[in-house]
Chains A and B, each alone.
Chain A
Amino acid sequence: MTLDTAPPEVDQPRKRFRWPWIVATAVVLFVVGLIGGGLFRPYVFNGTVIQSSTQAPSMEGLVFSDGQPVDLGAFEDDVVLIYFGYTYCPDLCPTMMAAVDQATETLGDDSSRVITMMVTVDPTRDTLEGIGDYVRIFNEDFLGVWGTEDQVRSVATLYGATFEYGESADDGSYLVSHTASLMAVDTEGVLRVVYPVGVTSDELAADLRQLLR
């Protein structure tokens, strides 16, 4: 027997409301968003980040306290911290040097990949050996850098730093007003971050870990 009549109309299946799936999707997206946001959130440095990928300005003419010329290219794959200060500096310089010392101490073996140098902005009073002795008070691995006033001023200009000599007191002492920012050159040799006065050792340590990656 064959069926020669059209099949009866059958109502289409009613669509079920799929709210459980919608809720589940929203929850999963939320959780993934949290995890993804935590994993891929941009790192925010504690200083001012420079986006340019141009190399850090040359320090031609300046020398380390042992007389060797400063060549930033020799520190490839290292992070170089540069500070412009002077040994008679009453407050800002020792504070910054101490913060850098504490920050590098927390890095363990990686501390050897952080090169810290202080360029004297008072080359008249700070001798070649004197600037070296000064920075080694804070850390044996810190480097002192010396140059004539003109040489230092030219280099400092390109690092956004400047300095002025104050009036001499009766005993001949004077203060030097100077830019107290700390500059960080990354492992690619790019001037990457500028830290203001007041940056803490913890903040520096966190940023250094990031820069060393």
Chain B
Amino acid sequence: MTGNDGSRIGVDGLRADLIGSVDMEGADEVAIVKDLVLGSASGGSLGAGDRLPGELDDVAPLSALTPDDGAGDDPFEDNVVGVGASADVESAGVLGSDRVETVDHVGADDAGPLLELGGGEAGGEANAQDEESDQVAHHAESKKRINPIFKWALSIGAVAVVAVMAFAILEPVQVLPRIRLAPGFTLVDQNGGTITSEDGKGAVTLYAFAPVDCGEECDSIYQTMREVGESVASSVDLGPADFRMVTVALDSDRPEALAAAAAKSGADGEIWRWAGASDEVLRDVVGSGFRVYYDATQPDDVAFDPTFIIVDGTGLVRGEYPYATIASDADRLTRHVGILGEEILFAKGNNALIYEAAHIFLCYP
């Protein structure tokens, strides 16, 4: 127990283990009394906010230990003012002041002994334990002083951070990155017609690059194209968008050469077409536009990086695959076309916000 000046006041005669704390650091401080057990023959309890009946007079000496702040004559005012007696009572009622936060369990049985304050033999022990319980009470008090608004803000902020992190980590929605604009072009196809970048608007297009007279080194490219074409047709839903494939010839714009390459690779001329252009156009389209390395200065030995590129229906490059990986290229390309298909199907209305968030949080496969 402390007085207004913070100095301790002895509580001789009180069983220390019966006293949680009676802490009063000035009139504004909170008094906390724990497990102060008062005897009651009937074993009954006092309700919250009840005035102490009968024994109240006996409790009066306790008030003698409470410093008077001069605020009033009532010894309970400002200081020890609440006595919760019932096990049902969580927080004590107020007797004479609103400054009491907790006063627990005032039984009746031990009232007599407790009221004999001033006995010396238990005083030292009581002081030690009283100090300890003071600290506990002070700690509890500090916790209770946290601004509720701050606690709310902290909780909401924590929830928001957890939600954002969960979205970024768990990636409930995956998207392909919107890398850059695919080049605009007008190329000659294997049938002698033209194929333009505008033809691909509204469709998902897989581009590959190879010379028309490519040998065995291009077999894996052709094999991948065939597998992707079959698996997308059988297992991917692109909604209203079509799927098409274009192999850009790096060394010819002659329809006959393109047709021969198409026959060799298995391109059907509808979903999968071959296309070519003059060297000047190819430099702009393939080199600058698709950013694919190739060197066709030696007609019989065209050097190039085997590359696959996925372009969406708006003309954006959504996937670049400049080198082979251990994983099957066909499986990976099919999966990524499927992700694009889901975006086409579901990124509408409010769902578009979720997909925008997925782009912002880089939820890429």
Give A residues with C-beta under 8 Å from B.
Answer: 1-3, 5, 7-8, 10-14, 16, 25, 28-29, 32, 36, 41-42, 44, 48-52, 54, 150, 153-154, 156-164, 177, 179, 181, 191, 194, 196
Contact = CB atoms under 8 A, between A and B. Distances in A.
B122 A194 contact: no
Nearest to A14: B88
Interface in B176-196: 177-186, 194, 196
A158 B183 contact: yes
Contact of A179 (B116, B197, B281): B197
B353 A41 contact: yes
B159 A7 contact: no
Contact of A42 (B198, B285, B357): B357
B182 A160 contact: yes
B359 interface: yes
B194 A164 contact: yes
Contacts of B37: 7-8, 10
B353 A162 contact: no
**Which of B107, B185, B359, B360 is the most central at the interface, judged by chain A CB atoms within 10 Å of its CB?**
B185
23 contacts: A2-B13, A7-B17, A8-B109, A10-B35, A10-B37, A10-B87, A13-B89, A13-B104, A14-B87, A16-B90, A29-B159, A32-B156, A36-B160, A44-B356, A48-B315, A51-B179, A157-B284, A158-B183, A158-B284, A160-B184, A160-B315, A162-B185, A162-B198
A2 B281 CA distance: 106
Contacts of B109: 8
Interface string B87-128: 111100000000000001101011011101001011000000
A162 B90 contact: no
A49 B315 CA distance: 11
A48 B186 contact: no
Nearest to B280: A150
Given A1-B113, A14-B87, A48 B316 contact: yes
A18 B353 CA distance: 36
Contact of A3 (B105, B113, B181): B113
A196 to B, nearest CB: 7
Nearest to B179: A52
A87 B177 CA distance: 36
A159 to B, nearest CB: 7
A42 B196 contact: no
Interface string B313-332: 01110000000000000000
A153 B178 CA distance: 24
B289 interface: yes
A22 B299 CA distance: 75
Contacts of A25: 155
Nearest to B43: A8
A159 B359 CA distance: 22
Given A1-B113, A154-B284, A7 B196 contact: no
Nearest to B354: A42
Given A10-B105, A28-B152, A29-B159, A157 B185 contact: yes
A124 to B, nearest CB: 17
B184 A159 contact: yes
Shortest 4 CB-CB contacts between residues of A and residues of B: A162-B184, A11-B87, A160-B181, A3-B113
A29 B159 CA distance: 9
B159 A191 contact: no
B257 interface: no
A52 B160 CA distance: 28
Contacts of A49: 178, 359
A177 B186 CA distance: 11
B186 A164 contact: yes
A51 B314 contact: no
B18 interface: yes
Contact of B87 (A12, A28, A29, A161): A12
B113 A2 contact: yes
B273 interface: no
Nearest to B109: A8
A51 B178 contact: yes
A106 to B, nearest CB: 24
A42 B356 contact: yes
Given A13-B88, A160-B182, A3 B356 contact: no
Nearest to A24: B152
A44 B347 CA distance: 11
Nearest to B120: A2
A201 B194 CA distance: 34
A1 B112 contact: yes
Interface in B341-360: 352-353, 356-357, 359-360
B336 interface: no
**Which of B119, B121, B316 is the most central at the interface, judged by chain A CB atoms within 10 Å of its CB?**
B316
